[in-house]
Amino acid sequence: MWFPHCATVDAMTRKATMDVPDLHGKLAVVTGGSDGVGLGLATRLAAAGAELILPVRNPDKGRRAVEQIRATVPDAQLSIRALDLASLQSVADLAGELLAEGRPINLLINNAGVMNPPRRQTTIDGFELQWGTNHLGHFALTGRLMPLLMAGSARVTTQSSISARGNAINWDDLNFEKSYSAMKAYSQSKIANLMFGLELDRRSQTAGWGITSNVSHPGVTATNLLAAQPHMGRNKDTANVRVIRTLARIGVGPQTVDQGLLPALYAATHPDAEGGKFYGPSGFQQLRGEPAEQEVYRPARSVADAARLWSVSEQLVGLQYAQR
């Protein structure tokens, strides 16, 4: 494991308690790093000395994120790159750029996501938006970066969600063309994230890729993804706003970003975090709390289903990982 020791980062950036290893000399890639949990993770990694690559869809948000990180970590080493996970060509372009640079990647956090658009939308390649972005986009990105991940003996942490415990993979209608439910489509993408992260570790162990892969989820965290989705023409709250209000009524408010990022930070950096494990908040119903290992949700436990998802995903994105 490439993490040498745990060293407490500066108290100014350690707003929620967890020591982070010394990451000087390490290269980290964090998707979705322009706001919310991703921005918080990027800030913590920068404070620990990592050099950061932040692939972003919106360059203006990316530049603002860089300013925010440097306001906290003035000597942060970071760059923004263009990436739209809803476009397989954009994924290929970013991977090609990084492969041409040839620098080993030590840490990849697959964090970006889209949640609950109120009407069915598709990616540039025709996939249901959440399925195509949250799962297939990250599956393709990780696959194309494999030479750099292997060279860096990387740890790969993929962000799932407590929504993953709700539904199974809809094998007969992966793109929800027959009947669309935004929440079911989101849940499917998060189940796929969980299955992918665990299967990546199994395949790495079998094939000797030298990659450690695990999965995390943030519980219920007050981010733009959860609470500030556009109504997109509807004059009513999104389902997620209603969830927040319901939780508030029973006295269970969402975590802050600084709290919600801890499971991913632990999974991605802590020396005790293991490959093939699932980490989330340890409190009531995993809604909030300190990071801890969690039981894999039932829909994601089947190794056969994980292998099937892997094969289907390779076919859909037109990319084959190294043989198992």
Compute CA distances 21 → 35, 44, 93, whole Å.
23, 10, 31
Read out DSSP for 2-50?
A: ----EEPPPTTT--SS--EE--TT-EEEETTTTSHHHHHHHHHHHHTT-
What size, in residues, is the chain? Answer: 324
Q: What 3-state DSSP class applies to 5?
A: coil
pLDDT in tens, 142-176: 999 999 999 999 999 999 998 888 789 999 999 99
Q: Write the Ramachandran bin of 193: left for phi over 0, alpha for psi from -120 to 50, otherwise beta.
A: alpha
In whole angstroms, what is the distance from residue 53 CA to residue 81 CA? 7
For residues 212 and 154, the answer to whether their CB atoms sit within 8 Å is yes
Q: What 3-state DSSP class applies to 219?
A: coil
* Annotated catalytic residue within 180, 186, 266, 321: 186
Please report, rounded to a whole number, the percentage of residues in the chain having pLDDT higher than 90.
Answer: 73
For residues 137 and 145, the answer to whether their CB atoms sit within 8 Å is no
Domain coordinates of the chain in residue numbers?
27-317
- For the segment 239-260, the average pLDDT, to the nearest whole number, is 63
β-sheet bridge partners, residue 221: 255
- For the segment 177-202, the average pLDDT, to the nearest whole number, is 96
The two tokens of residue 104 are 């080993």
- In the CATH hierarchy, which top-level class contains the domain 27-317? alpha beta
pLDDT in tens, 14-38: 345 588 999 999 999 999 999 999 9
Instruction: Please say if the pLDDT value at position 302 is more than 50.
Output: yes
In whole angstroms, what is the distance from residue 43 CA to residue 139 CA? 25
Whole-model pTM above 0.85? yes
β-sheet bridge partners, residue 292: 280
321 is catalytic: no
Helix axes 36-47 and 262-269, enclosed angle (nearest 10):
40
Q: What is the bridge-based pairing of β-strands 212-216 and 278-281?
A: parallel
For residues 132 and 152, the answer to whether their CB atoms sit within 8 Å is no
Counting beta carbons within 10 angstroms of the beta carbon of residue 64, is it exposed (0 to 12), middle (13 to 18) or buried (19 or more)? middle
Q: What 3-state DSSP class applies to 272?
A: coil
